[in-house]
Amino acid sequence: MKVLTALDGGVSQPYEIEGETVTFDLRPGQKILNVLITDPPEELRIAVRVDEKGKPFVARQGLLTGVDGLALSACPLTETAGDTYGAVLRTDGRAVRVASRYPYGRDGLEKLICDTGGGDGCRWQVRRKAHRQVATFEFGEDDGRKPMHYFIAGEDAWETAGTWTADGMVRILASGDALAESFKARCLVRIVPLASPYSATREKASYTTLEDQGLYGAATWGDAPPPPEYDLIRADVEEAIARRRLAFMLTLHSWQAQSESTGLETVKSAGHNALSAERVEWAGHVLETLIAGVPHGKTSFPQKIWHPGLARDYLLAAHDVITFRVEVTTAGQGYDGFRDTARRFLENVLRVEDWSPVYGADR
Ligand SMILES: [Zn+2]
């Protein structure tokens, strides 16, 4: 039996193999794990060591395992000692993938492009800057007037439930079904499923620079300039704002199973800008409309953002524009839940009649 990390986004934490058991140490916190275990015994025993912060992941999500390539499912873990939780996997001697998050890296993005490219009105482009690149999918014909919606996932590369949700949106819109057709007739949509494909192959949870430095990339929207991927995305969004075309912008993140809810949020103030009573009422109504039917959905609408430099903070402060964020949970849901979340958001976006209050009065 061997533990391999030679796969897209492969990351191992300290481990030991003892007989038919592999024990991974995911302390402190909830460390990222994404390995392939080759030549396993028929009954493979996996154990993970976690601390208090890692326990919600164990209790609400479990470990993600699969013996048939890419399809992983959540495997519940049971307590075997104070800080150790375990599971027994039937392998039939086949290699087993074991992960702490639903993996999504460059291979996921490539598969999405191959599965949807050339599909019904699906266009994609890869833009490059400073040795980095970003893939954007676009749907709907641009008549110069339609509202433009932006979905941006993978700002924090390992928050993969958000990326799987964006992946689901691309697949729905490329499918040509009734929802896809009405969406494309009424809107222009741009989707960035994985803002930083390079970072997704590193063990850092957020953004990895060319110098291998880990950054909280999502909070660099106000930097001059931001890291290359954010710079490309920001320029695109700001062009839509300058043309007063931006409608719904959503960044998709995930606290994994740290939260039991899929939380949708925007903020009431940033920099010198604060929403008027009318815009607060509009945004509150939009939050409720958008979250309807989303599995485990809830909303929040705080006065200020909890960390400066995030997209909502920067865009409200610099342009007086309202944008949104969601944290997709992995507590009690996997791929089906992410796809369901994708479909619900697309359906709900069409129920919002008026996006003009995205902009402040002086624009
Ligand atoms: Zn995040």
| Amino acid identity at 264 | L
Classified as helix, coil or strand, 108 is helix
Cα-Cα-Cα-Cα dihedral sign, residues 100, 106, 111, 112:
positive
- What's the gap in Å between 80 CA and the centre of ligand 1? 31
Only one residue has tokens 């800080």, namely: 83
Domain check: are 162 and 288 in the same one?
A: yes
Per-residue pLDDT of 324-359, as tens digits, reads: 999 999 999 999 999 999 999 999 999 999 999 999
Q: How many domains does the chain have?
A: 2
- What's the gap in Å between 265 CA and the centre of ligand 1? 13
Domain check: are 8 and 143 in the same one?
A: no
For 193-202, 240-249, 256-265, 308-317, which range has the lowest pLDDT when averaged over its residues? 193-202
Domain boundary among 44, 70, 99: 99
250 within some domain: yes
- What's the gap in Å between 199 CA and the centre of ligand 1? 13
CATH number at residue 175: 3.40.630.10
Q: What is the mean pLDDT of residues 223-240?
A: 97
Average model confidence (pLDDT) across the chain: 95
- What's the gap in Å between 97 CA and the centre of ligand 1? 25
Instruction: Tell me which of 204 and 235 has the higher pLDDT.
Output: 235
- What's the gap in Å between 90 CA and the centre of ligand 1? 34
CB burial of residue 16 (10 Å; 0-12, 13-18, 19+): exposed
Domain check: are 131 and 280 in the same one?
A: yes
The pLDDT, as a whole number, for residue 2 is 96
Q: In angstroms, rounded to a whole number, what is the distance separating the alpha carbons of residues 214 and 217?
A: 8
Domain check: are 11 and 113 in the same one?
A: no
21 within some domain: yes
363 within some domain: no
Give CA angle at 355 (354, 359), nearest 5°: 135
Domain check: are 31 and 126 in the same one?
A: no
331 within some domain: yes
The pLDDT, as a whole number, for residue 201 is 87
Give CA angle at 253 (49, 144), nearest 5°: 165
Q: In angstroms, rounded to a whole number, what is the distance separating the alpha carbons of residues 153 and 103?
A: 14
Containing structural domain, residue 42: 2-99
- What's the gap in Å between 151 CA and the centre of ligand 1? 14
Band of residue 228 on the pLDDT scale cut at 50, 70, 90? very high
CATH number at residue 77: 2.60.40.3120
Give the Cβ contact number of residue 15 at 10 Å: 18
- What's the gap in Å between 206 CA and the centre of ligand 1? 7
- In Å, what is the CA distance from 155 to each residue of 183, 197, 200, 227, 341? 25, 10, 10, 11, 18
Domain check: are 130 and 242 in the same one?
A: yes
Contact present, 126 and 169 (Cβ < 8 Å): no
Domain check: are 139 and 190 in the same one?
A: yes
- What's the gap in Å between 158 CA and the centre of ligand 1? 9
Per-residue pLDDT of 299-330, as tens digits, reads: 999 999 999 999 999 999 999 999 999 999 99
Tokens of 171: 């697949």
- What's the gap in Å between 255 CA and the centre of ligand 1? 7
- What's the gap in Å between 326 CA and the centre of ligand 1? 9
Q: In angstroms, rounded to a whole number, what is the distance separating the alpha carbons of residues 164 and 168?
A: 6
Backbone conformation region of residue 176, classed left if phi is above 0, alpha if psi is from -120 to 50, else beta: left
The pLDDT, as a whole number, for residue 10 is 93
Domain check: are 94 and 144 in the same one?
A: no
Domain check: are 256 and 297 in the same one?
A: yes
Tokens of 294: 């989303």
Domain boundary among 40, 71, 99: 99
The pLDDT, as a whole number, for residue 71 is 82
Domain check: are 220 and 348 in the same one?
A: yes
- What's the gap in Å between 175 CA and the centre of ligand 1? 28
Q: In angstroms, rounded to a whole number, what is the distance separating the alpha carbons of residues 182 and 179?
A: 5
Q: What is the largest CA-CA distance in the chain?
A: 69
Per-residue pLDDT of 139-165, as tens digits, reads: 999 999 999 999 999 999 999 999 999
DSSP designation for 227: P
- What's the gap in Å between 213 CA and the centre of ligand 1? 17
Residue 183 in this model has a pLDDT that exceeds 60 = yes
The pLDDT, as a whole number, for residue 362 is 62
Q: Name residues whose C-beta falls within 8 Å of residue 288's C-beta, 6 or more positions apart in sequence.
A: 299
233 within some domain: yes
Domain check: are 160 and 82 in the same one?
A: no
Domain check: are 189 and 205 in the same one?
A: yes
Domain boundary among 61, 79, 99: 99
Question: What does pTM read for this prediction?
Answer: 0.97
